[in-house]
């Protein structure tokens, strides 16, 4: 599978109160064509900042991509001018957010908002854009799309708004869809509807999806590969089967064990002690060592590298370091 997106050594830093916060601290991963990848982690781990970096939407002033490459189909997005990025955003890469109400304009109809995107990117006439918009709304499951075109966002429920957002995101046939917590604000029955829809659309248009979420259940519904982040770094990359059947990194194991299951009985949840390190704190050695039950001397001094286990597997932990095994 050829890669659609390659992220190489990306670092996005913030300056706050004269302190540098390393929100994204050197991450590398690839997304294949048509592949769905999930970026998992708890709040503050840098997963949303990664997606904003890809979109070129890092909040400024304050935030800055200080190093790295983001290569989409052979083009480094970081070399593009702001004007050129306009052509990429919405066309090549589209994004849907957690709270669809804040990303829809409350004073414009759904139709106006959809057609303006289509006219801008696909250079269609108003009439053609209208037809395309209606087609998209039908695709995301509205039974009366013509009527929906004249509606305002406040008249729709959360699930309907998210479907409008998906219609808008998919309307220009993006190569990559970034979905940042797309179902977190939705109820479970509505979440199920939206997940089914995303699955269907990605298959139909072979769009790659970068799914950002903290919900491991959603991950296992949608993704093929998973990237686990902790404190701005990748701690594990694995296929979905490997991740849930045989997690390697102590953080991943802790994360999976702390989720109560809908299916089975667990007597007691295994929580991860302590808290996520505060943003901007300087930690020597492994960033997870303070919460890790396997931490040994080396973890406190040296920082582990992301070790490649095989083609689809990588983990940042000394437990899997051959050097350790030989000692």
Q: How far is the CB of 8 from another protein (least distance, A)?
A: 29
324 binds another protein (CB under 8 A): no
Residues 3/37, Cβ–Cβ less than 8 Å:
no
Question: Per-residue x/- mask for another protein, residues 212 to 231, rule CB under 8 A?
Answer: --xxxxx-xx----------
Question: Per-residue x/- mask for another protein, residues 143 to 182, rule CB under 8 A?
Answer: --------------x-xx----------------------
Q: Which residues pair with 140 in a beta bridge?
A: none
Torsional sign, CA 38, 283, 306, 275:
negative
Q: Applying CB under 8 A, which of residues 200, 241, 305, 324 lies at the interface with another protein?
A: 241
Q: Applying CB under 8 A, which of residues 86, 152, 205, 244 lies at the interface with another protein?
A: 244
Per-residue DSSP letters for 30-86? Answer: EEETT-EEEEE--TTSSHHHHHHHHHT---TTTEEEEEEEEEETTEEGGGS-HHHHH
Query: Residue 103 — φ and ψ, nearest 5°?
Result: -100, 0
Using alpha carbons, select from 32, 84, 86 the residue that is nearest to residue 210.
Answer: 32
| Tokens encoding 197 | 């829809």
266 binds another protein (CB under 8 A): yes
Q: Which stretch binds another protein (CB under 8 A): 68-76, 241-249, 306-314, 316-324?
A: 241-249
Query: Residue 61 — φ and ψ, nearest 5°?
Result: -75, 165
Q: Applying CB under 8 A, which of residues 168, 195, 198, 235 lies at the interface with another protein?
A: 195
290 binds another protein (CB under 8 A): no
| Tokens encoding 73 | 């189909």
Q: Applying CB under 8 A, which of residues 2, 81, 260, 297 lies at the interface with another protein?
A: 260
200 binds another protein (CB under 8 A): no
Q: Cβ closer to another protein: 84 or 196?
A: 196
Residues lying near another protein in the complex (CB under 8 A):
42-43, 157, 159-160, 187-193, 195-196, 214-218, 220-221, 240-241, 244-245, 254-263, 266, 268-273, 275-276
């Amino acid at each position: 599978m050829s890669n659609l997106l390659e992220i190489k050594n990306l670092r996005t830093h913030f300056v706050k109160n004269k302190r540098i916060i390393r929100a994204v601290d050197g991450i590398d991963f690839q997304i294949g064509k048509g592949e769905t990848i999930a970026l998992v982690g708890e709040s503050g781990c840098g997963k949303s900042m990664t997606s904003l970096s890809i979109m070129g939407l890092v909040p400024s002033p304050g935030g800055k991509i200080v190093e790295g490459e983001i290569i989409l189909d052979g083009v480094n997005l970081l070399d593009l001018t702001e004007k050129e990025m306009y052509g990429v955003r919405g066309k090549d890469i589209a994004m849907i957010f957690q709270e669809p109400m804040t990303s829809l304009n409350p004073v414009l109809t759904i139709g106006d908002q959809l057609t303006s995107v289509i006219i801008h990117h696909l250079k269609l006439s108003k009439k053609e854009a209208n037809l395309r918009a209606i087609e998209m709304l039908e695709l995301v499951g509205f039974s009366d799309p013509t009527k929906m075109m004249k509606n305002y966002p406040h008249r729709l429920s959360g699930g309907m708004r998210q479907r409008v957002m998906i219609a808008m995101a998919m309307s220009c046939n993006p190569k990559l869809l970034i979905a940042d917590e797309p179902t977190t604000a939705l109820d479970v029955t509505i979440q199920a509807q939206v997940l089914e829809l995303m699955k269907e659309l990605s298959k139909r248009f072979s769009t790659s999806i970068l799914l950002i979420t903290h919900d491991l259940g959603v991950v296992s519904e949608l993704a093929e590969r998973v990237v686990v982040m902790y404190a701005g770094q990748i701690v594990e990359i694995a296929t979905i089967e490997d991740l849930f059947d045989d997690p390697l990194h102590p953080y991943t194991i802790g994360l999976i064990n702390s989720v109560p299951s809908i299916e089975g009985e667990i007597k007691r949840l295994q929580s991860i002690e302590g808290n996520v390190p505060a943003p901007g704190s300087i930690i020597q050695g492994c960033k997870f060592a303070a919460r890790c039950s396997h931490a040994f001397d080396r973890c406190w001094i040296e920082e582990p590298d992301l070790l490649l286990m095989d083609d689809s597997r990588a983990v940042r932990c000394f437990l899997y370091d051959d050097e350790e095994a030989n000692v």
